Amino acid sequence: MPARRNPIRVMLIDCRPLVLMGLHDLINARKPRMEVIGQASAYASALDLADRLRPDVIFFSFFPDALDPLDVIAGLASNAEMKVLVLKGLYESIPVGQAIGAGARGIVLAEDPTEAIIQAIIRVHHRDVGLDRAWAGGLSSYAVAGHVPFKCSLERTRQAQLTHREKELIRVIVGDPSAKYLSIAAHLGISEHTVHNHLSNIYHKLKLINRVDLLIYALKHGITDSDEPPASSWVELD
């Protein structure tokens, strides 16, 4: 009989009761794979709680507080066993690049499908890599700061599978990240159904989950600039 895995222990940090309740119910519905072990609505209490509970993954939201959220992320991330996932609203402006620099292991978009959020928890817990999920805004300056070169042979192989039309669609999305599918379809002169089909094929070829992954991947590997990825690229956190 195979040994049972310990559940992924998740802590929530958000000042909005409705968000806390929604994440709590979503995560606890996946027991015994994961469970919420604590939640905090202020940064000072969050630091104390995390120190006591030592969670595996911490959902972190930016909100007004006496403490600087970037300092709080750095404090939480100082323990390598605790992985910080920043929760970001689609139109919420937060310093994503600085959050990653402070130690966050990824960014989760609040509007993501529930299964994508669950997968983000699993991925950041089991893989000690950095940027799995992030919104494009705020990351461009961080990209050129000079970090670890990217070994792109595997990505070259994946990108070679993209058709010209699929690359065109990626360029449109990167050019206007908030564009509706209907608007994308009109821009490319195709149906909305075809847009969805192209995106599904792109996600499959590049091993991505959704549009947020695609945005950051496109910027990270330069596939919107030319047919070849750049010699060096983003940052791999370890």
Name the burial class of residue 1, with classes exposed (0-12), middle (13-18) and buried (19+) by CB atoms within 10 angstroms of its CB: exposed
Task: Specify the residue for token string 């939480």.
Answer: 76
Can you give the pLDDT at residue 224?
Answer: 60
Q: What is the pLDDT along the chain (238 residues), one digit of tens a residue?
A: 445 578 999 999 999 999 999 999 999 999 999 999 999 999 999 999 999 999 999 999 999 999 999 999 999 998 888 999 999 887 777 877 778 778 888 888 888 888 888 988 988 888 644 343 333 334 433 443 333 333 345 677 788 889 999 999 998 888 877 678 888 999 999 999 999 999 999 988 888 877 777 877 787 777 765 443 333 222 223 2
CB atoms within 10 A of CB 231: 9
The answer to whether 82 and 108 are in contact (CB under 8 A) is no
Domain ranges of the chain: 8-135, 153-221
Backbone angles phi, psi at 59, to 5 degrees: -80, 120
Residue 95, sorted as left (phi over 0), alpha (psi -120 to 50) or beta, turns out to be beta
Whether the model clears a pTM of 0.75, i.e. scores above it, the answer is no
Which residues are registered as beta bridge partners of 60? 13, 86
What dotted CATH number matches 8-135?
3.40.50.2300
Can you give the pLDDT at residue 213?
Answer: 75
User: Which pair of structure tokens corresponds to residue 57?
Assistant: 């993954």
At the top level of CATH, the class of 153-221 is: mainly alpha
Can you give the pLDDT at residue 190?
Answer: 92
Can you give the pLDDT at residue 210?
Answer: 76
